Structure 1
Amino acid sequence: MADTPPASARYTEGIDTRRAVLGDAHVDRAQASQTDFDRPFQQLITESAWGTVWAGQEWSKRERSMVTIALLAALGHDDEVAMHIRATVNTGATREDIREALMHVAIYAGVPAANHAFKIAKATYAEMEAAKAAGEDNEEHPS
């Protein structure tokens, strides 16, 4: 592996925010799977998405969660929708919040996108409930 420069303050804030939203297990897996090839990309998303956007003070993590899920659903990023549905246990976005966000997807991005996102959300919530009933940690079940 190539030498990596010391972490910037933005990167450190990004890792902390990413852990708060997605959970330690998810971040640990992402970091463990990094290679020299994707390390710059991981640094980019950690600093920009997590250290700038998600760490911002104007919106709560709940609000960011709802908007993120709506955008991912509208764009058809299914794995990311499921990942962010699971993250709602950390962001405080309720099922009702997500339902309303997906209703907006139906109107502004199309019924097929929302229909598919509802299927993903329902399956993800069912997985989360099953994991909880089994006494498992939900973040151990990434998409």
Structure 2
Amino acid sequence: MTTLSRHDQGMQTRRAVLGDAHVDRAEAAKTAFDEPFQALITEAAWGHVWSRPQITRRERSMITLALLAALGQWDEVAMHVRATRNTGATPDDLREAMMHVAIYAGVPAANHANKIIKDTLAQMEAADAQ
């Protein structure tokens, strides 16, 4: 068995978490300007951190969403809520993560993240119903 490069491992994990459609859109939109950035996140975030076996993807989803909410990264919150379909994090998990955000990062951050989470989950449910 061959060892995957950090980039190849990252791309596998990125696709498993975010889905092929999301990654294909990001790859198609990539330009010479942002190619180094895309390589960085694929290798570092997805190939190194998200690919580590010490905790589950479900746990990583919860941690990631809590951090994104605490930092006010709202677009990324929605993207990672959609990724929970692939990571196994449940709406109950997300609610608990936002409870931590409220206490450790502030109620306004958790409040806004909860709005985004609810809206995104509703959009996902509506898409499933079609």
1:69 aligned residue (58, 65, 71): 65
Q: Aligned residue for 1:122?
A: 118
Indicate whether 1:102 and 2:98 are aligned: yes
1:16-35 superposed matches below 5 A? 16-35=12-31
Runs of 4+ in 1 over 4 A off after TM superposition: none
1:36 aligned residue (24, 29, 32): 32
For structure 1, the residue ranges without an aligned partner over 5 or more in a row are 1-7, 135-143
For structure 2, the residue ranges without an aligned partner over 5 or more in a row are none
Q: In structure 2, how many angstroms separate the alpha carbons of the residues matched to 1:124 and 1:34?
A: 25
Q: Quote the offset at 1:32 in angstroms.
A: 0.4
Q: Quote the offset at 1:97 in angstroms.
A: 0.4
**Cα offsets for 1:65-90 (capped at 9, x unmatched):** 00000000000000100000000000
Q: In structure 2, how many angstroms separate the alpha carbons of the residues matched to 1:44 and 1:29?
A: 17
Q: Aligned residue for 2:108?
A: 112
2:80 aligned residue (80, 84, 90): 84
Q: Aligned residue for 1:140?
A: none
Q: Quote the offset at 1:50 in angstroms.
A: 0.1
Q: Secondary structure at the match of 2:89?
A: coil
**TM-score, structure 2 normalization:** 0.97
Q: Quote the offset at 1:38 in angstroms.
A: 0.3
Q: In structure 2, how many angstroms separate the alpha carbons of the residues matched to 1:9 and 1:120?
A: 35
Q: In structure 2, how many angstroms separate the alpha carbons of the residues matched to 1:130 and 1:94?
A: 17
Q: Aligned residue for 1:55?
A: 51
Letter in 2 for 1:42: Q
Q: Secondary structure at the match of 1:128?
A: helix
User: Which one has the bigger helix percentage?
Assistant: 2
Q: Quote the offset at 1:34 in angstroms.
A: 0.4
